[in-house]
Amino acid sequence: MSGLLIRPRIRPRVAVVLVYTAAMCMNGLDSTIVNPALYTIAGDFGRPLSAANTVETAFLVALAVGLPVAGWLGDRFGTKRVFLGALTAFTIASAVCGLAPDLTTLVVARAVQGLAGGLLTPVGMTLLFRAFPPHERMKLAKVLIVPTALMPALGPPLGGLLTEHLSWHWLFFVNVPIGTAAVLLGLFGLREHVEGPEGKFDTVGFWLATPALGLLTYALGFGPSQGWTRPAVAVSAALGSVLLVAAVLHQVRAGTPLLRLRLLADRVYGPASALAGVTAAGLMGVLFVFPLLYQASLGASALDAGLSVFPEAVGLMLASQVVDRLLPRLGPRLLTVPALVVAAAVFATLAVPGVAENAWSVRGLMFLIGLVLGTAVLTVQISGFATIAPSDMGQAMGLFQIVRTLGGAVGIAACAAVIGGGHVTEAAADPGPYRTAVWVTAALVAAGALIALRLPREAPQPPPFDDEDTPPPGEEPAAAEAPVVRG
């Protein structure tokens, strides 16, 4: 009977790239695709715009809650099992979002999406980086740029296009066929890897870090629009801050912490993680404020607002073609510092009076942002994990994503606070606050250039690795090591 079953043979590394790209594109798009549609969603459900904002905030809060435990779950239960389980949940939640009959259902389904997305990103990158040894990861530039930087840039124009010509429901329906195909491909093509975490689960660290990240993300999401002194926001910010400090102190002292903060002491990974947070703050901030500027101050449609940032995606794609060639020659520091300086200057130019009102000026500057900031982001992602041991990869990915996610939330909250609310109304037509918000993002990127000075001058040179389909050290079972389960 078993002989009648035909199992397609798919090269594991090809499967990893395809499944990772599909899943991360869904997750990356969903972080920004809803922004241009919030006006329409609020109108359809007969709710105020401030209530519709919970659609985005629920996603971000749940995303932050899922991140701390992602590394441990992948090590304990296997990266393939956890990744495909999260991808299945994300796909089902997307269908529920598209079918939502009311705002409450939509918000709950978005929270499930966010929770699954919080597991997807670090576990997915762990799968990818375990399949490719350090000296081959520069080839991944063309893969990494798509979900981590290109998809958030494509989210606003695609969201505006679908909202205007179909309906906002299709913002979520598009995930269903892609997610289903990725799950099926992953079942046959991915290899299982169970690292086997040392010691017991860090229960104390979990109950400190998880609510801390959720509460802080909630405060950052609602503080600008509802006021920082509102009890729910103020209590969330204060309690989240206390829990975060307690979580850090516990993680440093614990024998087997939930989050291995010691990894931040690594000479490459530490600065790279800090840079990920700062660049995410600048990028997500400008992607947030510019569509709002076009809609509220310039009277543009949702589609026009999204298209205003689309050229950035073209620049990002061009950056992905050159980073793998430039990084070995120039090294992380020399490639990243000038890129961030130029990016900060371009951000600042967007805030000059008259520039934002010229569509072609905006398109050209957005292209430059994608080119130079994309170069820096890719360099950080590729070089930041070169010195991380395979056994630490899951933990390093989880910590990296936590820093980047919080950085993005801080960038959006900072811009929202400057313009006077989480989302603007038609009455808020003065472009002054928007320009000030863009200056804030420029300052964040400029600060990143200072952090980049800590990156090493030379690109790390790990030992060669020959077999294309053999996993890196730690993948294969060994007599004295934790077992590796093949699926």
Gap between the Cα atoms of 460 and 385, Å rounded: 10
Determine whether 465 is exposed, middle or buried from the number of CB atoms within 10 Å of its CB (0-12, 13-18, 19+): middle
- The answer to whether the CB of 430 falls within 8 A of the CB of 299 is no
- How far is CA 223 from each of CA 39, 227, 234, rounded to the nearest angstrom? 20, 5, 8
Tokens standing for 421?
Answer: 């609310």
Tokens standing for 95?
Answer: 């269908």
- The answer to whether the CB of 312 falls within 8 A of the CB of 369 is yes
pLDDT at 290: 73
pLDDT at 301: 64
pTM for the full model?
0.71
Tokens standing for 122?
Answer: 């670090």
pLDDT at 147: 60
- The answer to whether the CB of 363 falls within 8 A of the CB of 307 is no
Tokens standing for 11?
Answer: 């090269």
For 329, other C-beta atoms within 10 Å of its C-beta total: 9
Q: Specify the length of the chain in residues.
A: 487
| Chain-centroid distance, C-alpha 12 | 24
- How far is CA 161 from each of CA 158, 307, 308, 313, 434, rounded to the nearest angstrom? 5, 9, 13, 16, 24
Nearest CA to 103 out of 161, 164, 153, 34 is that of 34
Half-sphere exposure of 372 (CA within 13 A, CB side): 22
Gap between the Cα atoms of 280 and 411, Å rounded: 7
Could you give phi then psi for residue 373, rounded to 5 degrees? -70, -35
pLDDT at 91: 92
Show pLDDT as tens, one digit a residue, over the chain (487 residues). 444 444 556 677 777 778 888 887 787 777 777 776 776 777 777 766 556 667 777 787 787 777 777 777 877 777 788 888 999 999 999 899 888 888 888 888 888 888 888 888 788 877 777 777 666 666 666 666 666 656 766 777 777 778 777 878 888 888 889 889 888 888 877 777 666 555 576 777 778 877 887 788 777 767 766 667 778 788 888 888 888 888 888 877 777 777 777 777 777 888 888 888 888 888 888 877 777 666 655 666 666 666 777 787 778 778 777 777 787 778 888 888 898 999 999 888 888 877 767 778 878 888 888 888 888 888 887 777 777 777 677 677 778 878 887 788 788 777 877 776 544 444 445 667 777 888 888 999 998 888 888 887 876 555 344 444 444 443 433 333 333 333 3
pLDDT at 140: 65
pLDDT at 342: 92
Residue with tokens 């599909």: 22
Write the CB contacts of 239 (distance below 8 Å, at least 6 apart in sequence): 211, 215
CB under 8 A, 24+ apart: contacts of 416-423:
416/224, 416/225, 416/288, 417/223, 417/224, 419/289, 419/292, 420/224, 421/224, 421/225, 422/50, 422/53, 422/221, 422/222, 422/224, 422/225, 422/226, 423/38, 423/49, 423/50, 423/52, 423/53, 423/225, 423/292
CB under 8 A, 24+ apart: contacts of 420-427:
420/224, 421/224, 421/225, 422/50, 422/53, 422/221, 422/222, 422/224, 422/225, 422/226, 423/38, 423/49, 423/50, 423/52, 423/53, 423/225, 423/292, 424/292, 424/295, 424/296, 425/49, 425/296, 426/296
pLDDT at 198: 58
